[in-house]
């Protein structure tokens, strides 16, 4: 028996198709795995750095929460909105200036209360930011 008849009789088409597919899938699988291998190894080499960063994130959660009294909630919300316009960290004189321009009452004493209650905290470089427990 010869020709296409012989191929069909011996299941040649199926063997060839399955064979090619297996070779392709085998090498494709291998190529995908080795294309990720260096990333995995890179991660493994920097695992200490990664875990330290994770620890750092955990520390954020350890920051003691401050409680904002109900009467201050609206004030905090308003000043927070103004500070967000100034970016992070922000300058206190500019926040004061902005509060004045917006017509908020007693901006000096309000910002002073926010500072005393540590709702606004200095970053040590002349700028200020909101306490970490006050979510943005």
Of 24-32, 65-73, 92-100, 124-132, the segment contacting other proteins by CB under 8 A is 24-32
* Nearest distance from C-beta of residue 66 to other proteins, angstroms: 48
Verify binding: residue 63, other proteins, rule CB under 8 A.
Answer: no
DSSP string, 63-111: SPP-PPPHHHHHHHHHHHHHHHHH-SSB-HHHHHHHHHHTT-S-HHHHH
Q: If binding is defined by CB under 8 A, does position 7 make contact with other proteins?
A: yes
Which residues face 122 on adjacent strands?
128
3-state secondary structure of 136: coil
Q: Binders of other proteins: how many residues, by CB under 8 A?
A: 31
Q: Is 47 near other proteins (CB under 8 A)? A: no
Q: Which of 38, 62, 116, 124 binds other proteins (CB under 8 A)?
A: 38
CB of 10 to other proteins, least distance (A): 5
Cβ nearer to other proteins, comparing 31 with 69: 31
Report the b/e string of 16-46 with b at 16+ CB within 10 A: eeeeeeeeeeeeeeeeeeeeeeeeeeeeeee
| Binding of other proteins by 46 (CB under 8 A) | no
For residues 107-119, b (16+ Cβ closer than 10 Å) or e, as one string? beebbeebeeeeb
Interface residue list for other proteins (CB under 8 A): 1-4, 6-7, 10, 12-13, 15-16, 18-20, 22-35, 37-38, 41
């Amino acid at each position: 028996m010869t020709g296409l008849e012989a191929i069909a009789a011996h299941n040649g088409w199926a063997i060839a198709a399955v064979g090619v597919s297996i070779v392709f899938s085998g090498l494709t699988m291998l190529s995908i795995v080795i294309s990720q291998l260096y990333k995995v190894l890179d991660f493994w080499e920097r695992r200490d750095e990664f875990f330290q960063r994770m620890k750092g994130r955990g520390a954020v959660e350890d920051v003691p929460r401050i409680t904002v009294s109900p009467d201050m909630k609206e004030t905090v919300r308003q000043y927070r909105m103004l500070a967000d316009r100034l970016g992070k960290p922000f300058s206190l004189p500019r926040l004061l200036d902005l509060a004045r321009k917006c017509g908020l009452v007693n901006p000096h004493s309000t910002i002073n209360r926010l500072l005393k209650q540590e709702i606004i905290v200095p970053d040590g470089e002349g700028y200020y930011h909101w306490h970490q427990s006050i979510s943005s």
